[in-house]
Amino acid sequence: MSTPLGRRVAAEGVGTAVLVAVVVGSGIQATELSHDVGVQLLANSISTVFGLGVLIVLLGPVSGAHFNPAVTLAAWFAGRRSGDGPTLREVVAYVPAQLAGAVGGAVLADAMFAEPLVKWSTHDRFAGHLWLAETVATAGLVLLILGLGRTGQGRLAPAAVASYIGAAYWFTSSTSFANPAVTIGRTFSDTFAGIAPGSVLPFIVAQLLGAAVGLGLAALLFGAAVPSGTTTAVVVAYGETERAASAP
């Protein structure tokens, strides 16, 4: 029997909330401990790498550990014919949970550091090179996730995905949000990790474009068909044991 949808949706909401709390909270802490922007980014990225890796290990078996609408949509699109991806019903349930979790995580981080619970960010990130960076970051993330599934290496997802995000913090000018939910959540905190509301829409458009590019690259590099016994649907395959037991 597979994990009930309600439990999977809860895992996506809680996981996204904790992820954003890690990103925003470590950003606040880094700012309080150092005035050096490089040190702040280093602290923020290291915290995110470890936090994301732990969340994927813990919640991957429950929901797949997407924590990201772009990943959920890409997984649905990639698996819509083979049946390995989430259903449209699951997408409709996952995405609002991810968005609500992201907002809740930002508010939680603000509360832990005695910041105003809701204070719109004034950190402007409205520039073409940042949009390009978000396209590249999200394309790489989707390519990695689908590539791991199509090559039967899904077990490496916790380390691989966390490592990629950590690297992308440094090789992209935008510091690799690569996640529409996280982008929206970070508007609720006027801190080092924040993004001004006016900068959000182009970021999300770039992220969705990047997801489409990642899908295309995955098809080009690994083929459109999914090898038997693998999945492109999730970062970590939830319900894998139940599916194996029911297979003919």
What is the phi-psi region of residue 152: left when phi exceeds 0, alpha when psi lies from -120 to 50, beta otherwise?
Answer: left
Q: How confident is the model at residue 235 (pLDDT cuts 50, 70, 90)?
A: confident
Q: Is residue 247 part of a domain?
A: no
How does pLDDT run across 27-44, given as a tens digit for each residue? 999 999 999 999 999 999
pLDDT-derived band at 1, boundaries 50, 70, 90: very low
12-28 confidence digits (pLDDT tens): 999 999 999 999 999 99
State yes or no: pLDDT of 230 exceeds 70.
no
The pLDDT value given to residue 236: 62
Query: Residue 96, Cβ neighbours under 10 Å: how many?
Result: 14
The answer as to whether 131 is a domain residue is yes
Is residue 244, in this structure, part of any structural domain at all?
A: no
Check residue 95 and give its pLDDT.
98
| Residue range of the domain that includes 44 | 5-239
What is the average per-residue pLDDT within 125-145? 98
Does 246 map to a domain? Answer: no
pLDDT value of position 225: 53
How would residue 80 be classed by pLDDT, with cut points 50, 70 and 90?
confident
- What CATH number is attached to the domain comprising 140? 1.20.1080.10
| Domain tally, the chain | 1
pLDDT digits (tens, 9 = 90+) for 185-228: 999 988 888 999 999 999 999 999 999 999 999 999 998 755 44
pLDDT, mean of residues 218-247: 55
Q: What is the distance between the alpha carbons of residues 6 and 9, in angstroms, rounded to a whole number?
A: 5
Stretch 32-59: mean pLDDT: 96
Q: Report the alpha-carbon angle 204-199-143, nearest 5.
A: 30
The predicted structure's pLDDT at residue 243: 35
pLDDT at res. 142: 98
Within a domain: 245: no
Residue at 23 is within a domain: yes
Report the range out of 2-6, 43-47, 115-119, 242-246 with the highest average pLDDT: 43-47
Report how far residue 96's alpha carbon sits from residue 162's, in angstroms, rounded to the nearest whole number. Answer: 23
In contact, 12 and 101? CB cutoff 8 Å:
yes
Digit-coded pLDDT (tens) for 95-120: 999 999 999 999 999 999 999 999 89
pTM: 0.91
Burial class (CB in 10 A: 0-12, 13-18, 19+), 191: buried
C-beta atoms surrounding 156 within 10 Å:
13
Of the candidates 49, 51, 55, 65, the one whose C-alpha atom is nearest the C-alpha of residue 8 is 65
